Amino acid sequence: MNTLIDKKLEAARRHLDSGTCPLLELAEKIGWSPAYLQKRFKQAFGLSPAEYASQRKVATLKQHLKYAPDVTQAWVDSGYGSSSRVYENGAAKLGMLPAVYRKGGAGLTIHWTITVTALGNALVAATERGICAVALAEEQTRLIEELRAEFPNAELNHVPDDDGIIASKVRSVAEALAGKASHAPIELIGTAFQHRVWQALMTIPRGSTLSYAELAERLVLPKAARAVARACAGNRVAVLVPCHRIIRGDGSLGGYRWGLPLKEDLLQRERMGTIGK
């Protein structure tokens, strides 16, 4: 992209970060046709303007659900026009009803299993609405502790990986971990900035790496390398959002939520083209 296009895309993103904006109105603000804006925005951020705005609202909702005095106040502060919109849109992306998430999963049953993949143990957890966690570690206790930390008040129901409750979700995650086409739902719930970083991570080809600074450059935010690093560290979806492909400027591995040995193994497998084989 040239500088002018970069600036227009950043302007469009800022408008969406400030609140919802119909595509036609947004295109008029930017000076492009709606179709061209839709195409360019999706190329840059991996989402259409409407999808980006929806993710931003869900990220805001998630934060407000933790701290607002009640659920109604949370959805009002998050920009939803009615409670029905929260449950139609927000609940689907949170993987649970907003009131339940706010209470740390209280009253919620989360079915989880640990399955063995080419990358070692993988925990897959899901509510009736969809996958809510994917984590990797050799020690099963660590995987369970991570799940409990995210949903401290939920009822965690351990099931076999071939149980009908979760089997299809496990297959979807296993396929994605093996580098195959998959329809595994990924909950990219975070701040607008985190979402941009995570989407950018998914554009890095297998076997390739970037430094934090290089990724910041791709985002047209050359001075935001530290913020990019923090966003990578906040990724909760192993491999599907490939933060393992980010290294330090000096070529060293840097950090990794699921451990540096696993990060090194992932990169080596990808470079050799053996991941999932």
Query: Are 173 and 218 within one domain?
Result: no
pLDDT at 97: 45
Residue 41 included in any domain: yes
**201 and 267 fall within a common domain:** yes
Question: Are 118 and 162 found together in one domain?
Answer: yes
Give the residue ranges of DSSP H helices in 119-243: 140-150, 167-177, 192-201, 212-218, 225-233
| pLDDT reported for residue 1 | 45
Q: Which positions ≥6 away from 252 have C-beta within 8 Å? A: none
Is 245 inside a domain boundary?
yes
Residue 228 lies in a domain: yes
* Residue 123 · residue 159 · CB < 8 Å: no
Residue 170 lies in a domain: yes
- Mean pLDDT score of the chain: 76
State whether 46 and 74 are in the same domain.
yes
Q: Say if residue 72 is in the same domain as residue 10.
A: yes
For the cut 60, the answer to whether the pLDDT of residue 189 exceeds it is no
pLDDT at 214 exceeding the cut of 80: yes
Task: Say what the pLDDT of residue 80 is.
Answer: 46
Do 67 and 113 have their domain in common?
no
Are residues 141 and 200 located together in one domain of the fold? no
Examine the pLDDT at 82 and tell me if it is beyond 80: no
Q: Can you tell me which residue has the tokens 């399955």?
A: 115
CATH number of the CATH domain containing 229: 1.10.10.10
Q: Output 98 or 252, whichever has higher pLDDT.
A: 252
Question: Is residue 26 located within the same domain as residue 68?
Answer: yes
Greater model confidence, 222 or 65: 222
- Total domain count, the chain: 3
Please check the confidence at residue 87 and state whether its pLDDT lies above 80: no
Question: Ranked by mean pLDDT, which of 37-51, 57-71, 213-227 comes out on top?
Answer: 213-227
CATH of the domain at 17: 1.10.10.60
Measured CA to CA, the distance from residue 187 to residue 218 in angstroms comes to 23
Domain limits for position 139: 109-177
Name the more confident of 117 and 185: 117
Q: Is residue 94 part of a domain?
A: no
Predicted confidence (pLDDT) at residue 38 exceeds the cutoff of 50: yes
DSSP state of 243: G
Does 75 score more than 50 pLDDT? Answer: no
**Percent of the chain with pLDDT strictly greater than 70:** 71
* Structure confidence by residue, pLDDT tens digits, 6-26: 888 888 888 887 776 788 999
Catalytic residues: 243
Closest Cα partner for 108 from 149, 152, 60?
152
Evaluate whether residue 159 is within a structural domain: yes
Which of 45-49, 150-154, 200-204 is predicted least confidently? 45-49
Residue finishing a domain among 88, 118, 137: 88
Domain boundary among 27, 54, 88: 88
Please give the residue that has the higher pLDDT: either 105 or 38: 38
Same domain for 118 and 46? no
Q: How many alpha carbons fall within 13 Å on the CB side of residue 113?
A: 19
Task: Say yes or no: 216 and 251 in one domain.
Answer: yes
Q: Is residue 157 part of a domain?
A: yes
Residue 198 falls inside a structural domain: yes
pTM: 0.57
58 against 169, higher pLDDT? 169
What pLDDT, on a 0 to 100 scale, did the predictor assign at position 196?
80
Q: 167 with 208, same domain?
A: no
CATH number at residue 123: 3.30.160.70
Residue 273 has pLDDT above 70, yes or no: no
Residues 172 and 199 in one domain: no
pLDDT exceeds cutoff 70 at 103:
no
